[in-house]
Structure 1
Amino acid sequence: MTTTGQVTDRYLLDDEIVADPFPYFAHLRTTAPVHWSPVHRAWLVTGYDEATACFSDPAVSADRISPMLAQTPLHLLSPEASRAFGIMAGWMVFVDPPEHRRLRSVFRGAFGPRQIRRNRPMVQEAVARLTARAREGRDVTDLVADFARPLPATVAAAWMGVPAEDTERFQRWAIQVGDLALGSVQSAEEHESSQQALLDLFDYLRRLVRRRRDDPQADLISAALESGLVGDSVSEDEFVAMLTHVAFAGGETTSNLIAVGVWNLLRRPDQLDLLRAEPELAAGAVEELLRFDGPSKMSVRQVKTDLSLGERLLRAGDRLYLVTAAANRDPSRFHRPDELDLRRHPNPHLGFGQGAHFCLGAPLARLVAGAALTDLLAAAPDLALAGARAIWQSSLLNRSLQSLPVRLT
């Protein structure tokens, strides 16, 4: 920890900050909304206006794979690592316009609200099944392991067209890829295992894409192939690489949204009772939980060309952390920002990003999280916390619980 003038620069993976980052984020936002962090060798952007400016400024790039590869001697990479980096470089989250628009066009319509709403019966059935399983023969269940994590992964697998007999290994691969992408791996062995999971997932999805070409079904892959763009403006490998990102991104984010959202509701009985009494507030509740304590704390960006931001000069090559968790509590934008208010309106939060990189899977995440909240509360009217202290995952980017012991009855 260092202090320069009024700004205290702290390591964002300190246990205290991982458990509750918001007081420190408020300190940064108040004293220096654009702050150079010597600890992280990056700019921390915590102000709402400054963060939104970065999301739309062409001088700010989402590509953080190419700069890293440019600094890495290729002969030091194993063939597996080189291939894994190549797959990740094709994820839309790491690609700037106009390439981003070209890739995203493949999914035009497939992620639309009308298409997503068709999944509602499947989501409800999965919620009911997982709730019943979690209650079987036990007083206390881990809401993360038994409900929040498997629910989005189950929905994502079914929606993508993964056969039931392959769902378990698909989910295992997706979780490992998520750990790799979000920096949650803790050892060289875990890194190698997660890297291999990405390669296995890619090979599996490529086979599935080819099967869906010959035998289309009512699923995401078939709908995207119907556009005719795969093999034309977008190569098959590019399409499959994007599918590996879809496989983990929505599941990881939505599971964290559900678990942390339930944790926050159970600690605020007035808001919990409000949602129980008025389940039609579920859509607004999801938006407020995204704002108040969402699954993503920040996004990583790179400065492409020099720019001025908040009276600071940022140089080409500098790294940026767009701290959306701080921006979402900026009092210049939100009234009583540190209060959870399920009736909040309007709610222009940055939980799904903004601009060209606005989360493609937002409609599905909203559907799954909304159904999880309302259906779980209806099925478990006596839901309550069973542990005294939350244990948080040590992650720079994600806001996630390792476990959440609850009583369902």
Structure 2
Amino acid sequence: MTTHAPVLTERYLLSPDMIADPYGHLDALRDHAPVHWSPLHHAWLVTGYDQVMRCLRDPAVSADRVRPLMDAVPQGAREDAERAFGILSRWMVFNDPPEHRRLRQVFQEAFAARAVARYRAFTEKATRAVLARRATPGRTGDLLADVARPLPALVFARWLGVPPTDGPSFWYWNARVADLVLGTAQEESEYRASLQALVSLDDYLGALVARRRAEPGDDLISQVLREGRVGDSVTEEEFVGMLTQMAFAGGETTSNLIANTVLALHTRPDQLAAVRAEPELAQGAVEETLRLDGPSKMSIRTAARDLDLDGRTLRAGDRIFLVTAAANRDPARFPDPGRFDVRRSGATHLGFGFGAHFCIGAALARLVAVAAVRTLVCDHPGLTLADPGRPTWQPSLLNRGLTALPVHY
């Protein structure tokens, strides 16, 4: 009797059911073919851990995706796009070596773990202050709006040297830039608002750099200026462009990481109890969230030239989705991959990427997320989910973020 391999039914990754829970389909896709051409998405979906790692290491796989972002802008908004996409072209995340290396080196010292550790006391103080104001026992609220968004905003603004009085405009611009980069802008008016926000953010940070040259402080911009690379290995325009990337990436990713971790723990009573008994396990909870349900589902790449991957030929110009959300659940790499275990050790997850494009801000994101999770779990034992069965998620191909997290404090 002849047997046939099961046929995989394509699923659109932005459909409501895939936004709600993509993991069953992604697991099936990885088991079916870890390198799969999707006519529906006009892209290769790479879902196996080893295959994603190969792509992250291979220079034939390019991170430059400014052009696809431009192509997505409605025709009526194109006239506003030229300067905005010039700014995006200076983001290190959209550059390949050697340009990526040159840009990244400017921030290497400032992002080192020892440099980030200087902000531990401030982060812990800010965490307590935010929770004292927003998480009053007996109150019902939205943990995303009350804690997960304002806390990283406070820390990242302090770290960049943004004065508190500038905070509202600064974070409004960041939210609109996120709409553009993460693909949640749909209407022409939304694209126009996002493009203008990126230009406004660039103008603001350019003025802040000039201010820090005249009046240095204890912040990232002042530190990098003191090191003397701006004007030497990178231009000031490149430096300011990269600061817009730092501003965007820090708040969005860390906010979602905090909220996703709190949700993960409060839907798993045994793991919540473990962290309460041993507060140092808050670090493990954050790492497991990054692996199992982290703030990033995938990154988009392009084949710079023809390459062979797992017996499939990817042609120059082909779009590639590196689906880390599936790779981080690969049973060939992670035993019992669907289990959330705050004591898990072993294989390295890809929640912050890997290699040249490993997230430069990972140490700071971890510092803020762990401080928030540990304090929420250990100092707020009455915290419960107000609606544990119905979390709603942002409709994004790239990120995994809740729209709200209703809780009882």
Cα contact 1:13–1:394 (8 A) shared by 2: yes
1:195 CA drift (Å)? 1.3
Partners in 2 of 1:15 and 1:190 — Cα distance? 21
**Equivalent residue, structure 1, for 2:42:** 41
Cα contact 1:324–1:350 (8 A) shared by 2: yes
Deviates more, 1:179-188 or 1:193-202: 179-188
SS in 2 for 1:132: helix
**Equivalent residue, structure 1, for 2:153:** 153
What's the CA shift string for 1:56-83, capped at 9, x where partnerless?
10110000114666x799x976453100
**Equivalent residue, structure 1, for 2:299:** 299
1:292 CA drift (Å)? 1.0
Deviates more, 1:59-68 or 1:89-98: 59-68
Cα contact 1:287–1:347 (8 A) shared by 2: no
**Equivalent residue, structure 1, for 2:327:** 327
1:360 CA drift (Å)? 0.3
Query: Which residue identity does 1:40 align to in structure 2?
Result: H
1:109 CA drift (Å)? 0.7
Q: How do 1:398-409 and structure 2 match up within 5 A?
A: 398-408=399-409
Cα contact 2:148–2:255 (8 A) shared by 1: yes
Query: Which residue identity does 1:17 align to in structure 2?
Result: M
Cα contact 1:209–1:221 (8 A) shared by 2: yes
**Equivalent residue, structure 1, for 2:7:** 6
Query: Which residue identity does 1:274 align to in structure 2?
Result: A
CA 377–310 in structure 1, closer or farther in 2 if over 3 Å, else same: same
Query: Which residue identity does 2:206 align to in structure 1?
Result: R
Partners in 2 of 1:135 and 1:7 — Cα distance? 46
SS in 1 for 2:407: strand
Cα contact 2:123–2:155 (8 A) shared by 1: yes
CA 136–345 in structure 1, closer or farther in 2 if over 3 Å, else same: closer
1:163 counterpart = 2:195: no
Identity of aligned residues (%): 57
**Equivalent residue, structure 1, for 2:394:** 393
Partners in 2 of 1:72 and 1:358 — Cα distance? 26
Query: Which residue identity does 1:14 align to in structure 2?
Result: S
Cα contact 2:64–2:302 (8 A) shared by 1: yes
Cα contact 1:48–1:328 (8 A) shared by 2: yes
SS in 2 for 1:301: strand
Q: How do 1:177-326 and structure 2 match up within 5 A?
A: 177-326=177-326
- Normalised by the length of structure 2, the TM-score is 0.95
Partners in 2 of 1:372 and 1:179 — Cα distance? 25
SS in 2 for 1:363: helix
CA 297–227 in structure 1, closer or farther in 2 if over 3 Å, else same: same
Cα contact 2:76–2:188 (8 A) shared by 1: no
Cα contact 2:77–2:192 (8 A) shared by 1: no
Cα contact 2:329–2:337 (8 A) shared by 1: yes
1:11 CA drift (Å)? 0.3
Cα contact 1:37–1:43 (8 A) shared by 2: yes
Cα contact 1:131–1:379 (8 A) shared by 2: no
Query: Which residue identity does 1:132 align to in structure 2?
Result: A
**Equivalent residue, structure 2, for 1:119:** 119
Cα contact 1:291–1:329 (8 A) shared by 2: yes
Partners in 2 of 1:113 and 1:324 — Cα distance? 24
CA 231–268 in structure 1, closer or farther in 2 if over 3 Å, else same: same
SS in 2 for 1:403: coil
Partners in 2 of 1:9 and 1:183 — Cα distance? 21
Partners in 1 of 2:278 and 2:386 — Cα distance? 25
**Equivalent residue, structure 1, for 2:31:** 30
Partners in 2 of 1:147 and 1:158 — Cα distance? 16
**Equivalent residue, structure 2, for 1:346:** 346
1:137 CA drift (Å)? 8.5
1:379 CA drift (Å)? 2.5
Partners in 1 of 2:183 and 2:68 — Cα distance? 17
What's the CA shift string for 1:333-369, capped at 9, x where partnerless?
0000000000001240000001100000000011001
Partners in 2 of 1:26 and 1:68 — Cα distance? 28
CA 72–167 in structure 1, closer or farther in 2 if over 3 Å, else same: closer
Partners in 2 of 1:253 and 1:340 — Cα distance? 20
**Equivalent residue, structure 1, for 2:110:** 110
Partners in 2 of 1:10 and 1:25 — Cα distance? 10
SS in 2 for 1:119: helix
Q: How do 1:73-84 and structure 2 match up within 5 A?
A: 78-84=78-84
Cα contact 2:279–2:378 (8 A) shared by 1: no
SS in 1 for 2:106: helix
Query: Which residue identity does 1:64 align to in structure 2?
Result: R
1:54 counterpart = 2:33: no
CA 174–72 in structure 1, closer or farther in 2 if over 3 Å, else same: closer
SS in 1 for 2:9: strand
Partners in 1 of 2:223 and 2:166 — Cα distance? 20
Partners in 2 of 1:98 and 1:249 — Cα distance? 22
CA 156–68 in structure 1, closer or farther in 2 if over 3 Å, else same: closer
CA 229–182 in structure 1, closer or farther in 2 if over 3 Å, else same: same
1:250 CA drift (Å)? 1.5
CA 72–152 in structure 1, closer or farther in 2 if over 3 Å, else same: closer
Q: Extract unaligned runs of 5+ from structure 2.
A: none
